[in-house]
Amino acid sequence: MAMSLTGNQGSTSAPHLSGDQNYGATTTSVNMGGASDGGNDHQAGGENSSTDYVIPGEITVKQKAILAGALFMKGGLLGAFIPFVALWTHLHGYTPTQVGFMAAADICFSILLVPLFGGILDTWKCHNWGLVIAMSATGALKFLYIVFADSFWMLLFLTALTAPCLKGCNSVLDAQCLYAFKDKAQFGQVRLFGNFGFGILAALTGLFVAAGTSEAAPYERVDKVFVAFAVICFASSVYWAIMHKYVKNVTPDADRLLRERSIYAEFKALVAQIWNTEGCPRVVCALFILGCQLGIIGAYEFIMLSELNAGVDFMGACRLFGMIFEIPVWIYGMQLVDQISLPNAQILFLCVNSIRLYWYGVLTQPMEAMYAEVMAGFSFAFPYLSITVYIGRQFAEGRKASMQSILHSTFTGLGTGMGSVLGGFLIDAAFGGNIQALFRYFAGATFLIAIVFGFYDNLHAIVAEFTAKAAVVQQSINSSRGGTASATTGGATGGQPVASPDVGTKNKGFLDGPAVKTPSASFSRGDTEERTTLASASTGAIMDDGLDPSAISLSVEHPSAGGRSASTGPNAV
């Protein structure tokens, strides 16, 4: 009989980092006890229904256009602000150490508040209106930067509030767009428009600032960057408030609480799930290192270029140039990651970033920075796309905001912030204000870290292979002593199946290739033999997402019965 477990919360396959693309295919629906809306994947959500998430169908061009517009505006507001905030603090006379303290506030409050933000939206299932409110609040807070530009402590306070809001909005919007796709690898094709927004707005902002900058007014136009940022924030919130209703693949907000567990319990369960997923801690660690590199580049590249007498318009052009070379990454990047596996891809990212950092450390003319921008896709686009798609493939939609927030805050919060803090400290304390020495130092450290990850991954593969062979030998010994090791019924088992692990076919984790088999067991009753293939989804994972295993309906096909099928479960007929 063919048996598969598929809930309507999205993919519930056992997490692994192998690039498996068999996600989103629904063969058996989980009946949650609520009324069905006529066979669609969307449940009506009666009193007994635990969830009403949508299993997305094929997304239409119209829906893609709406999502692309939202991502363009989101990328635009980041492009209008992120590249210039370090330059703004530098022009206002703040030291690298003070910039590092602001980055530290970014780290601490992002770690605390971004997962909390995602958990609240997941708990109350208010992703759309929560995003609208948070985006509006971010715009209002960023406008206050101009008012308190000369107060370090107020800037520290504003950073502590706005950084989590900005990162939370970024993660939630990407999560909404990601789960609108049945094939998560297609997410990069629409996320590309966020890249367009970033590059185009960064270039326009650079031209705007350069047009009004002089020795008499060195930062008058840079201050107006915050005005542009606030305007784009408000425009983005209005856009999403109106347009999200027309994207049918985006799960609508609910008018009731979906979970009974506290947000703390949810967060604890999420961290445990990440920690217990084989290979995930290794991937998160590499993601943190990549975030540190991004923080170093983002915080000190423009300051270094300003010391080389580069114009602000040239700085914006650098971002636009880098955006152009990120386009192939957003479109085809996941094909490469799926071919070589996520851990190997991360090692590649680290090696290329070490080259980029070293180039910044030895350039003598501002124009030479353009060569480093060719590798911009390996600093942000590749790591961000790969971890976003991985989350979408491995974790159910019910936790989309929480999972995205936790892992994205590791990359763009903890990682980038720690890079800025450590970089600022080293520039003042170890390198005597020489920013290029910092780039050279991190280039060497990054390359060594890539080598360490390579040794670790190969050692892990050797140990896993040895363990698998030892298990096969032990299984053979047990088989010779106690009879067959396959799961059979009848005879001594009294007609009950005795399942034993199928060594070599289970999911071995993050070093496996794309093709991962599923465990199987053989059942024999009289002259009728059936083979059950267990889906990669586990009952524990389903229970963890709030589904009732007793309500799962299984479709069973008996080959000896002429193709007739039967249904098991509480509502079986």
Structure tokens given for 77: 């507001």
How many CB atoms are located within 10 Å of the residue 291 CB? Answer: 26
| Domain layout of the chain by residue ranges | 61-459
Output phi, psi for 461, to 5 deg. Answer: -65, -40
How many CB atoms are located within 10 Å of the residue 213 CB? Answer: 18
- Residue the block writes with tokens 């005795």: 498
Q: What distance lies between CA 148 and its chain's CA centroid? A: 34
- Tell me the pLDDT tens digit for each residue of 222-253: 777 788 788 888 999 999 999 998 988 887 88
Please tell me the predicted confidence (pLDDT) of residue 512: 44
Please tell me the predicted confidence (pLDDT) of residue 567: 41
Q: DSSP of 68-114, one letter per residue?
A: HHHHHHHHHHHHTTHHHHHHHHHHTT--HHHHHHHHHHHHHHHHHHH
Q: What Rg do the C-alpha atoms of the chain give, in angstroms? A: 26
- Interior CA angle at 160 toward 413 and 207, to 5°? 75
Please tell me the predicted confidence (pLDDT) of residue 87: 75
- Tell me the pLDDT tens digit for each residue of 4-18: 333 333 333 333 444
pLDDT averaged over 10-residue windows placed end to end, the chain, 573 residues: 36 39 36 35 35 66 93 80 76 82 83 84 86 91 87 92 88 88 89 88 79 64 78 91 90 64 71 82 93 91 90 86 92 93 95 96 94 94 92 78 83 87 89 93 96 93 88 88 51 43 39 40 38 37 41 39 42 38
Structure tokens given for 302: 């423009």
How many Å apart are CA 205 and CA 229, to the nearest integer? 10
Which whole-number Å values give the CA distances from 459 to 339, 445, 452, 462, 504, in the listed order? 21, 21, 11, 5, 19
What sign has the CA pseudo-torsion 350, 355, 356, 361? positive
Residues in the chain: 573
User: Does domain 61-459 fall into CATH 3.40.50.970?
Assistant: no
Please tell me the predicted confidence (pLDDT) of residue 43: 33
Which residues lie closer than 8 Å to 164 by C-beta, 6 or more apart? Answer: 109, 110, 112, 113, 114, 117, 413
Please tell me the predicted confidence (pLDDT) of residue 294: 92
Please tell me the predicted confidence (pLDDT) of residue 263: 64
Please tell me the predicted confidence (pLDDT) of residue 56: 66
Output phi, psi for 520, to 5 deg. Answer: -140, 160
What DSSP designation does 572 have?
A: -
How many Å apart are CA 308 and CA 547, to the nearest integer? 59
How many Å apart are CA 337 and CA 44, to the nearest integer? 38
Q: What distance lies between CA 320 and its chain's CA centroid? A: 24
Task: Write 535-539 long-range contacts (CB < 8 A, 24+).
Answer: 535/3, 535/4, 535/5, 535/6, 535/13, 536/13, 536/14, 536/507, 537/5, 537/6, 537/7, 537/11, 537/12, 537/13, 537/14, 538/12, 538/14, 539/5
CB distance 381 to 329 below 8 Å: yes
Q: Mutual orientation of helices 96-124 and 416-429 as an angle, nearest 10°?
A: 170
Please tell me the predicted confidence (pLDDT) of residue 460: 85
Please tell me the predicted confidence (pLDDT) of residue 27: 35
Residue 450 β-bridge partners: none
Which whole-number Å values give the CA distances from 420 to 97, 101, 202, 412, 413, in the listed order? 9, 9, 20, 11, 11
